[in-house]
């Protein structure tokens, strides 16, 4: 492996462009290739960063050190399996795949390849979530409430709001709860296309010990990304967009909880680019050859997708 990692970005759309821009600015990484079935689009993005444009992953040379799959969700399984069969480490944008069967095939391919494979649940690398996880260590979580609201977007046409947006919060909540929900109920609205939710809410029960509510929408006029976490010691509030964390004094310094003190105090958070951190972790795993250190694993991604599919199933039954 060369001193500079040669990484390819598969998909020259909006998310692929984000990955390309970030990789091009990373020390010790060479953005070698942009791959897209639309070669004209691939060339436009490749020229921006001095990379080579290719029309298919079959044209990637054997010397490529890693690849980011940032194509439409329905293509993840086929592309991921093809790259992994060649032993190429992959960071697959969320969702891992769109069906349980495809996820299992990708997990099996990753196990067989034995190379680093990560899934792009970028909020795990948000400095505010990392600080929240640090403050919540050894705390008893009682309740979580997440809101992820967005204006409508013509860019996302092939997926519903659950797998497009809500999956981020389902992943974070299950990560912080260190468990999978034992019960789940959901409601939703399909505004633009029958059977495709544009607004959805879900209530998750973790064995009666932790409750979580999650709302995601593509019907609002502004962007909101918030997470509230109530513990036995106090309350913690996260703003994903501003990377701000506020918390009860007991969570900050371990002092005795005081029910009469309801004020939340700002917590020091070192600001950073979540995507850059995610890619840095992935690239470090490639250098070290450690598959388990690549980031959010395919098996972890499958856990949150199980909740996604259950929500989708319940909504489909409601609308049938």
User: What's the pLDDT tens digit per position in 56-96?
Assistant: 999 999 989 999 999 999 999 999 999 999 999 999 999 99
Q: Are 141 and 221 in contact (CB under 8 A)?
A: no
Give whole-number Cα distances, 101 to 97, 108, 126, 302, 305, in Å: 9, 11, 30, 11, 12
pTM: 0.92
Query: pLDDT value at position 260?
Result: 47
Beta-strand relationship, 210-217 and 199-206: antiparallel
Name 225's Cβ contacts closer than 8 Å, sequence gap at least 6.
147, 148, 149, 239, 240, 241
Average pLDDT, whole number, for the chain? Answer: 93
State the fold for domain 124-273+307-319. Answer: Dihydrodipicolinate Reductase; domain 2 (3.30.360)
The domains of the chain are located at 5-121+275-296, 124-273+307-319
Q: Are 285 and 116 in contact (CB under 8 A)?
A: yes
Q: What is the pLDDT of residues 231-256, one digit of tens each?
A: 999 999 999 999 999 999 999 987 76
Query: pLDDT value at position 261?
Result: 57
Q: Are 7 and 65 in contact (CB under 8 A)?
A: yes
Comparing 27-31, 41-45, 64-68, 290-294, the range with the smallest average pLDDT is 290-294
Q: How far apart are CA 261 and CA 256, in angstroms?
A: 11
> Residue 157 above 60 pLDDT?
no
Per CATH, domain 5-121+275-296 is 3.30.1180.20: no
Query: pLDDT value at position 152?
Result: 74
Q: Is the peptide bond before 152 cis (omega within 30 degrees of 0)?
A: no
> Residue 283 above 50 pLDDT?
yes
Q: Alpha carbon 237 to chain centroid distance?
A: 20
Name 131's Cβ contacts closer than 8 Å, sequence gap at least 6.
245, 267, 269
> Residue 4 above 80 pLDDT?
yes
Query: pLDDT value at position 318?
Result: 92
């Amino acid at each position: 492996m060369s001193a500079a990692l040669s990484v390819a970005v598969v998909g020259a759309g909006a998310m692929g462009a984000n990955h390309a821009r970030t990789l091009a600015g990373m020390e010790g990484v060479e953005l070698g290739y942009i791959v897209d079935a639309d070669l004209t689009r691939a060339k436009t993005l490749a020229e921006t960063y001095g990379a080579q444009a290719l029309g298919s992953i079959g044209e990637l040379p054997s010397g490529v050190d890693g690849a980011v799959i940032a194509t439409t969700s329905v293509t993840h399984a086929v592309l991921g399996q093809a790259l992994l069969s060649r032993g190429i480490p992959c960071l697959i944008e969320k969702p891992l795949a769109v069906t349980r069967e495809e996820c299992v095939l990708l997990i099996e391919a990753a196990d067989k390849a034995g190379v680093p494979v990560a899934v792009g649940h970028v909020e795990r690398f948000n400095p505010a979530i990392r600080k929240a996880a640090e403050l919540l260590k050894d705390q008893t979580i009682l309740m979580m409430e997440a809101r992820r609201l967005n204006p409508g977007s013509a860019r996302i046409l092939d997926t519903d709001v659950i797998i497009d947006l809500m999956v981020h919060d389902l992943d974070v909540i299950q990560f912080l709860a260190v468990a999978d929900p034992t019960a789940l109920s959901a409601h939703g609205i399909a505004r633009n296309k029958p059977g495709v939710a544009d607004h959805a809410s879900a209530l998750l029960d973790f064995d009666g010990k932790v409750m979580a509510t999650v709302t995601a929408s593509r019907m609002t006029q502004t962007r909101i990304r918030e997470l509230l976490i109530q513990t036995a010691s106090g309350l913690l509030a996260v703003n994903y967009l501003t990377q701000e964390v506020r918390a009860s004094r007991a969570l900050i310094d371990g002092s005795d909880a005081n029910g009469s003190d309801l004020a939340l105090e700002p917590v020091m958070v070192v600001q950073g680019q979540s995507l850059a951190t995610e890619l840095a972790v992935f690239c470090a795993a490639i250098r070290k050859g450690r598959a388990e250190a690549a980031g959010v694993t395919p098996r972890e991604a499958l856990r949150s997708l199980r909740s996604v599919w259950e929500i989708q199933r319940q909504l489909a039954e409601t609308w049938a």
